[in-house]
Every structure is written in C-alpha cells, then in structure tokens.
Amino acid sequence: MSNMKAQEDVFRWIDEHEDEIIGVLRDLISIPSVNPWFFDEPAPSKEKELQEYIASRLSRLGADIEMWEPNADKLAKYEGMAGYYPGRDFTGRPNLAATFKPRDGIDGGKSLLLFGHIDVVKAGSRWTKDPFAGEIEDGKLYGRGAVDMKGGVAAMIMAVEALLRAGYQPAAPITVGTVVDEEAGGMGALDFIDHGYRADACILTEPTSLAIAPLCRGILWGKLTLHGRSGHIEMPQGDWRTGGAVDAIDKASLYLEHFKRLNADWAQRKKHPLLPLPCQIYVAQLDAGEYPTAYANKAEIVFNAQYLPSERDEKLVGGHVKREIEEYVASVAATDAWLKENPPEIEWLVDADCAETDAAHPFVSLCVDSLQQIGEEGKIEGLCFHTDMGWPVNVGIPTINFGPGDPRLAHHSDEYVPVQEVIAATKMIALTILNWCKEKEE
Amino acid sequence: MPGKQELKQQVLEWIDSYEDNIVGYLQDLIRIPSVNPWFFTESGASKEQDVQRYLARHLESLGGEISLWEADADELKEYEGRAGYYAGRDFTGRPNLAAVFPGSGGGRSLLLTGHVDVVMAGSKWSKDPFGGEVAGGNIYGRGTVDMKGGMTAMIKALEAVIASGGKLKGTVTVGSVVDEEAGGMGTLDFIHQGYRADACILTEATNLSIAPLCRGILWGKLIIPGRSGHIEMPQGDWRTGGAVDAIDKTALYLQHFRRLNEDWRVRKQHPLLPIPCQLLVAQVHAGEYPTSYANRSEIVFNAQYLPSERDEKNMGGQVKREIEQFIRTVAETDSWLKENPPQIEWKIDADCGETDVNHPFIEACTSVLRELEIEPVVQGQSSHTDMGWPINVGIPTINFGPGEPRLAHQSDEYLPISELILATKAIALTIIDWCQVEEEQP
C-alpha cells in the first residue's frame, strides 16, 4: 500500500486547493457543452471548447495530448454493436486523450485510464439557478453537468494534478480520456477504444454517490405501436370483422396489465446480487387517440427495459432481451383476435449496453481500500442505469464507475453536486493512482 | 287544385324528375366550405354566411319570409349554465336564417331545421372534400351526411310541394342555424327568437330512421397526477419523495372504467337505443421522456347520458356528479391518489331530448314511410343532436335525415343519392299530411 507520506502530501495539497478544484468544475460547467442531439437548430457544439480547456490544462502539467474527431466511416466494422451510429458527424466534436508517461519508463506500477464524457443534456426547464453558472449554495454546486458528469471529470483531472503538483510522478502511464457524445449513444467512447487506448484498469467517473460500481445495466428503449380502427365512439359498432371500430386504448390497457405480469416474473428472474432492484419493463410514455368522438386509431407505448450483463448477446448488446420482449408482445397478441391479425409493432429506439467487472478483481479491492482510507464505507454496488463502461470492459480493461454526485439528479433541473463529494472523489482517485500506478517522489 | 293523393303523386314525380337538380343543390352546398371557425387554425371569415345567403335567396324565391340575423351572446345571458350557451361567443358574419311560409289556416305548423356548419375536412380523403363529386351513386364531401344532405332534402321537399301546386294550411318554417359543431349556440338563439311549431323535423342523418330522442354527450379530461423520477433507479416510497408512475394510475382507472361500464350497461339502457351509455376513453397522453416515470396523465373521455338523466337545467349535471364521485371512490383506494386527487375538467355537455314515441307526429312520420314502402324504424340517436331546445320549449321533435351517421366527421364522408331522394320524398309527404293542404271541394 501507499507510503503514508505521499498520501499525506497529496491530501494536504487537495485540502489547500479546494477552491481551485471547485474552480475547475465551475469552469467546466460554464462551457455549455450540450450534445448537439438536443439542439433545436444546427449550431457548432461547445464540446470542442471544453476539450481544449482540458487539453490546455493537462498539457501544462506535461501530458502528451492527442485530440481527434471520430470518423463514423472508420467505425463501420462495429455495425450492430454498442455505440455505433452510421454517418454521425463529429466535425468540431473531438475526443481527447492526455497521457502522462513515467519519465524513466515503467517501473513496477500498473497503468490507469481515467475516463469520462464531457457532453451534457440540454438544460431544460424549471431551473431556479443559472444552469451554466456553477453557483454554490449551502455546500452544493449547481449546474447542468454538476452530477453528469463534470463533477467526476473535474475530480479525475484534479486528482492527477494534485499528485503531480504535490511532487510525485506515477511509475506507470496514466491516461485521462474525455469523450464526446455519451448522451446520445456513446459513439465517443467506442471511438476512443477503437483508437487503441488501453490500460491495466479504468475508472469511469460517472456519479455513484461515491460507491464503487463494477457493473451497470443495459437499457432498451422501444416504441410499441398498437393498431386500432377509428370509428364514432357514441355509435353502435359491429364486430371488427365486419368493419366495426377497434379501440386501441383498450388494447393498450391489455398490454399495461400484461407488462405487470411480466414484471412479476422478471422480478424473480432478473436480479443481480449487487443491484438494489430487478430489471423491469416500464412504460414511460403512452399516447393514443385524436378526438373525443372517435375510438383511438392507434396507441403508442414507449417503454424502458433494463438488462443485465449476463443477458448480453454475441455482440455484447441487448439482442436476446429484445427477442424476449418481442416474443412476449406477440404471445399477448395471440390471445386477442384483432391483434392476432393486426400485430403490434416494436420499433427499437435505443440499446445502451452494459458490462461487469468481477467484484473480486484486485483493482476493485484496491478502490474499496482507497475509499475506506478517506473515511467512506467502501460500498460496492452496481449502477441501475447505463454508463459507457461497456467498451473498456469489452477490450479487457477492468473498469469501475466511481464519482461524486447522486445519479438520480442527473438530467434534472437544479442538478447539483455536494462540493465535499467532489473533494472526496478527488482524494479517492489520487490515492488509487498512488496505490495502483505506484508513485515516485520527485 | 289537386286532391291530396293526387298532389302527393305529383310531388313524388317532381322529385324523381328533379333528381339532378336536387343533387346539384347539395353539390352547391358542399362546395361552400362552411367549416365552423372553431376548427380554424388561423382567423378568417366563416363561410357559414355564404351558405345562409345561398339558402335565403332560394327560399325567398319560393315565397318564404326571410329573416337573417347574427346571434348576440350578451342577449342570451339568461341561459348561463344551460345547453348551447357560451359567454361572449362572436357571431359576426355567422347569421342564423329563418324562412317562414305562412299557411292559409286550419292546419298544423311544422319546423324543418338543421345546421349549415361542418367540421374541418381532416386528413385521409381520397376525394376533394369540398368538390361534391358523384361516384357510384354516392355524393362525396364534408357535410354530405352531417348535414347538408338533410338540409337539401327538407328544402327540396318544400319546393316540391310548392312547385306541385300544394297550398299548405299549416305554416312551415325552415330554420337554418350556425355553430352546431362547436356547442349548439345557433339553435339556442333560434329558439330564443321565438320560432315555434306544432312539430319539428331536425334533418340530422339517421339512415332514414325516425329518431324521437338523442343522447347527451359529456367530454371530460381527467388529469391524474404522478411524480416524475428516474425510471431506471431505485425509488423510495412516495411519502419519502419517491416517484409515482402516472401511467400505472392510468391503468387503474382504465380497469375501473371497465367495471363502471359493466354497471352502466345494465342501468343505462333505453328501449329505443341499440347500445347502453358508457364512459369511453378516447385519448390518453402521459409521459415525456423514456427515462422518467410519467409526471401526469391526461385521459379524455366521452360519456353519454339519457334524457331521463338530465338535471334541473336539462343538462348532464347529475351524470357529471356521478362520474366525479366514481373517480373519487377509485382515488380513495390508492394512498397517493387519496392525497393527490385527480382533477376533472369538463369540456362539453351536449344536451339531449326525447319526444314521446306515442305522439301523433311520430305516427304521421311512420305512415309516410310505409306509403313509400319503407319499413319504419323508430330508433333513438346514439349521438347528440340539437333537438334539446325545440323539445325544451314544447315542440315535439324527431331527427330524420339521409345518410349513415357513422360516416359523419370521417374522411370520404358520402351520401347515397337514392337516400337523399327518399328523404326528400318522405319529408314532402310529411309536410302534406301534417300541415294539410287546401283541397277542391268535391
């Protein structure tokens, strides 16, 4: 384990530079690097401006900087796999890798990738604070991205900076990788891994409320369209076989009931010891009907279904679970004469992949130990939502999620991160670097 | 002066030989797109006026005493809370029309009435909705069924009687009103002006059946509150801030409405109606984003009521209370809904009325149909018509008109020419029988 002096020096530096660390986070929030997917009108993305800020800061500390724009055509071999979107344009949206190499060559330590995304979702409505000002009140720092995930990005940058400025050099390479486009599919992370960056371990600094998360769940978004047949709602309607109306809302109600039944089954079958809740298929949006005098012609049900790493298909995405849901939807349709002849359709909107690192891996234990060193419980818990950890794990990098902030606040108005969690995360990451990469005093 | 039977024969022959003229008249009406301004996406002058002027010119040429006037909402204030009253509605450029044909005395008077406004064309037409195209023995266009076909039939019926030399003893009034498709204020105003008769035919489409009653129609919007929250994350109990899925509560109401309908199916029948009153959901909208539990759900429903269920204002107040009570009772079964009760916004209360099926006027109508070798069908109208106000002021009223009411408001609305002609004949013979004609003394 680390030598106590190095740990004390680095922690002291962090404590003495709390304002600077938080200042960096506020700088990151003040650059509104909203993913262009959320733009109402085409405009240049601010993701590049943010990458340049990080590059310039880390370059001053001696990092080798590589900044490049992903090229969708070069990624065509990933067709059908996580994060690949044909033809997506990354002009003005670069990925960034800042690598700190040991001056005297690798000397016994292990390399580490500190990984995160710098795009954020749009501000949205109902903010009581300026979403891009980084205002602090009662120890909470407010802003879009404070939780997801500029808090984590600030912590990982400043952990490296703390180490170096406190006078230590890692004995193995550290790469700070910041990618674009997580909030609209994860193509930035795919490209980063395709670019060849590897390490002996990886911390993805997504918000975990300071827990160690060696897995996340895969997320499927699907739109189920149920067909009905419109007709006057106040009038007698014959059997549908003779042209009578069919109420799509009644069919939607049938599926709502059946999804409850499916969820009871999934609640038994789709559990993971490190997850606080089972996978479910939840209806998030329901839209049907056009006019108060007509039976609804169709109903659209947008659902969110989660899957476990153990359920992934051969392409490491949710194909098996999609098939399972499709078969279930078809089996319900088979119980209804109209639906049997007019089958519902599923359009798959998102398949956000997942992955799992063995909780017994030494890197996980080391992270737990780092957390305990800063007075935390060192809790290991899977993340219920998706993160970009899939690609690092897919190429063999043991990866955990760890970061400041309550993930439930992500994407919400008045998103905030407690300042002290950012500081604690900075210390935990710095300590992990010391213990994993091994330090050398200058 | 022809005898009554001879006159009837001449009238029927006139109608047969003027078939093209009758069809042309309906085509002229269809080609004036008198869409109710309620459906306008941009403000503009209503074409209701153009139809009324067209009818007025024609009815004047037949010898009618013409009144053309614009309703004044302020003058109708006394009807606050009653059917068809909408405070402040502007009728500039939207006149009502009455054409009175005074009888020579000794007969019974008759009011022939209908509305000239139509709903918007809407989508999915394969014909020009305002072209009046004839194909396969049918006339296509918005309003052919609802209800320019009926307007044509009643006016051409009167013309046939007059052109055949009939001298009526009873007064015939042709009433043509605006604004039925958005509340019925035109009819309220017409009755307010004092027009009365010993009987009334409202020529709404009935497929040539005699409809001595219609149903009242309530439109309501039920707003079910939920509490949004991340759908993939653990959510605590709602009492400690956890999310509440408004779509789950919607499923609860959809289930309970089915239960209510079982009850209504038994309780809310009428011997002259083919179907019981029901509370049917026409629209559902819930949820905003695939990662959030729906924050609220909106359910638009259509509930029908019987004339016997009307309140002291001849409206659906009692049924509204019944529905509100039911919604509260369901909310009582759910701890969240108990503290966060759903709200109902009442959108429409379209009234109803009923004429005693044993009234002599109905006998007069059925015997005319037998004379035309049509087996009379006496059946209530499942939807609303404007018959409420004539009945409220004591005028025995039936709906009788050409066209399949289920085609109203649909794309490719059409009317069989043969039905238009039959309706014209039936109304003409009813005029002769009910109002009586001067006959040569034998």
pLDDT for the residue B40: 87
Q: What percent of chain A has pLDDT over 70?
A: 98
Report helix, strand or coil for A369.
helix
**A127: how many CB neighbours lie within 10 A of its CB?**
16
Pairwise pLDDT comparison (B280 vs A290), residue with the higher score: B280
pLDDT for the residue A108: 76
Strand partners, B134: B139
CB contact residues (below 8 A), chain B span 302-321, against chain A: 302, 304
Q: Which residue has the tokens 């997942």?
A: A354
CA distance B319 to A344: 36
CB-nearest to B287 from A284, A299, A407 is A284
- Say whether the peptide bond before residue B147 is cis (omega within 30 degrees of 0): yes
pLDDT confidence tier of residue A125, bands split at 50, 70 and 90: confident
**B60: how many CB neighbours lie within 10 A of its CB?**
13
Nearest CA in chain B to A260: B248
The alpha carbons of chain A give a radius of gyration, in whole angstroms, of 24
CB-nearest to B250 from A232, A276, A286 is A286
Nearest CA in chain B to A237: B406
pLDDT, tens digit, 9 for 90 and up, residues B34-74: 999 988 888 888 999 999 999 999 999 999 999 999 999 99
Chain A positions in Cβ-Cβ contact with residue B245 (cut-off 8 Å): 282
Nearest CA in chain B to A243: B406
pLDDT, tens digit, 9 for 90 and up, residues A402-429: 999 999 899 888 999 999 999 999 999 9
CB-nearest to A249 from B247, B284, B304 is B284
CA distance A269 to A321: 13
**Of B410, B349, B379, B121, nearest in space to B271 by CA:** B379
Nearest CA in chain B to A277: B234
Q: Which stretch of A42-56, A104-118, A407-421, B13-27 has the lowest confidence by average pLDDT?
A: A104-118
CA distance A1 to A366: 9
Chain A positions in Cβ-Cβ contact with residue B251 (cut-off 8 Å): 253, 256-257, 260
- Say whether the peptide bond before residue A4 is cis (omega within 30 degrees of 0): no
Nearest CA in chain A to B245: A284
pLDDT, tens digit, 9 for 90 and up, residues A229-270: 988 999 999 899 998 999 999 999 999 999 999 999 999 999
Cross-chain Cβ contact B283/A291 below 8 Å: yes
CB-nearest to B251 from A235, A257, A299 is A257
Q: What beta strand segments (E) does A308-418 contain?
A: 345-352, 399-401, 416-418
Cross-chain Cβ contact B284/A252 below 8 Å: yes
Angle between helices A419-437 and A4-16 (to 10 degrees): 150
Task: Calculate how close chain A gets to B378, using CA atoms only, in Å.
Answer: 15
Report helix, strand or coil for A77.
helix
Q: Which residue has the tokens 């995930």?
A: A149
CB-nearest to A249 from B281, B382, B408 is B281
Chain A positions in Cβ-Cβ contact with residue B348 (cut-off 8 Å): 292
Residue B1 has pLDDT above 80, yes or no: no
* CA B133 to the chain's CA centroid: 24
Q: Which domains does chain B have, with CATH numbers?
A: 4-214+353-435 (3.40.630.10), 216-350 (3.30.70.360)
Cα torsion through A207, B289, A350, A143, rounded to 10: -30
CA distance B2 to B161: 12
Q: How do strand A399-401 and strand A202-204 relate by DSSP bridges?
A: parallel
Chain B positions in Cβ-Cβ contact with residue A276 (cut-off 8 Å): 234
CB contact residues (below 8 A), chain B span 382-441, against chain A: 382-384, 405-406, 408-410
CA distance B47 to B29: 11
Chain B positions in Cβ-Cβ contact with residue A291 (cut-off 8 Å): 282-283, 409
Cross-chain Cβ contact A304/B251 below 8 Å: no
Q: Is the Cβ of B283 closer than 8 Å to some Cβ of chain A?
A: yes
Q: Is the Cβ of B268 closer than 8 Å to some Cβ of chain A?
A: no
CB contact residues (below 8 A), chain B span 216-235, against chain A: 217, 219, 229-234
Strand partners, B222: B299, B344
Residues 6+ apart with CB under 8 A from A169: A102, A103, A439, A440, A441, A442
**Of B174, B114, B379, nearest in space to B270 by CA:** B379
Q: Which residues of A are catalytic?
A: 119, 182
Average pLDDT, integer, range B331-350: 96
Question: Would you say A117 and A149 are in contact if contact means Cβ atoms under 8 Å apart?
Answer: yes
pLDDT, tens digit, 9 for 90 and up, residues A29-62: 999 999 998 888 888 899 999 999 999 999 999 9
Average pLDDT, integer, range B203-210: 97
Residue type, B304: Q
Average pLDDT, integer, range B366-371: 98
Residue A80 has pLDDT above 60, yes or no: yes
Residue B273 has pLDDT above 60, yes or no: yes
pLDDT for the residue A2: 52
Q: What's the token pair of residue A311?
A: 């359920």
**Of B122, B340, B354, B43, nearest in space to B215 by CA:** B354
Residue A440 has pLDDT above 70, yes or no: no
CA distance B160 to B173: 15
3-class DSSP string for B340-396: CCCEEEEEEEECCCECCCCCHHHHHHHHHHHHCCCCCCECCECCCCCCHHHHHCCCC
Q: What's the token pair of residue B96?
A: 């009502």
**Of A14, A4, A1, A2, nearest in space to A427 by CA:** A14
* CA A407 to the chain's CA centroid: 10
Cross-chain Cβ contact B283/A289 below 8 Å: yes
Chain A positions in Cβ-Cβ contact with residue B304 (cut-off 8 Å): 234
Q: How far is CA A83 from CA A72, A113, A145, A221, A346, in A?
A: 11, 19, 21, 14, 21
pLDDT, tens digit, 9 for 90 and up, residues B216-265: 999 999 999 999 888 999 999 999 999 999 999 999 999 999 999 999 99
CA distance B102 to B81: 35
Q: What angle do CA B238, A404, A62 make, to 5 degrees?
A: 160
pLDDT confidence tier of residue B418, bands split at 50, 70 and 90: very high
Residue A304 has pLDDT above 60, yes or no: yes
pLDDT for the residue A1: 46
Question: Would you say A162 and A169 are in contact if contact means Cβ atoms under 8 Å apart?
Answer: no
CA distance B266 to A344: 33
pLDDT confidence tier of residue A442, bands split at 50, 70 and 90: low
Cross-chain Cβ contact A232/B219 below 8 Å: no
Cross-chain Cβ contact B304/A234 below 8 Å: yes
Beta-carbon-side half-sphere exposure of residue A71 (alpha carbons within 13 Å): 5
Residue B96 has pLDDT above 60, yes or no: yes
Q: Element (H or E) spanning B222, and its range?
A: strand B216-225
Q: Is the Cβ of B121 closer than 8 Å to some Cβ of chain A?
A: no
pLDDT for the residue B410: 86
- The pTM of the full predicted model, rounded to 2 decimals, is 0.90
Question: Would you say B381 and B399 are in contact if contact means Cβ atoms under 8 Å apart?
Answer: yes
pLDDT for the residue B338: 98
Nearest CA in chain A to B249: A256
CA distance B398 to B382: 13
Q: Which domains does chain A have, with CATH numbers?
A: 4-216+355-441 (3.40.630.10), 218-352 (3.30.70.360)
Q: What's the token pair of residue A405?
A: 């902030």
Question: Would you say B323 and B277 are in contact if contact means Cβ atoms under 8 Å apart?
Answer: no
Chain B positions in Cβ-Cβ contact with residue A290 (cut-off 8 Å): 283
CB-nearest to A282 from B231, B301, B384 is B231
Q: How far is CA B382 from CA A127, A230, B303, B405, in A?
A: 49, 17, 11, 10
Q: How far is CA B207 from CA B402, B403, B405, B414, B432, in A?
A: 5, 5, 7, 12, 22
pLDDT for the residue B334: 98
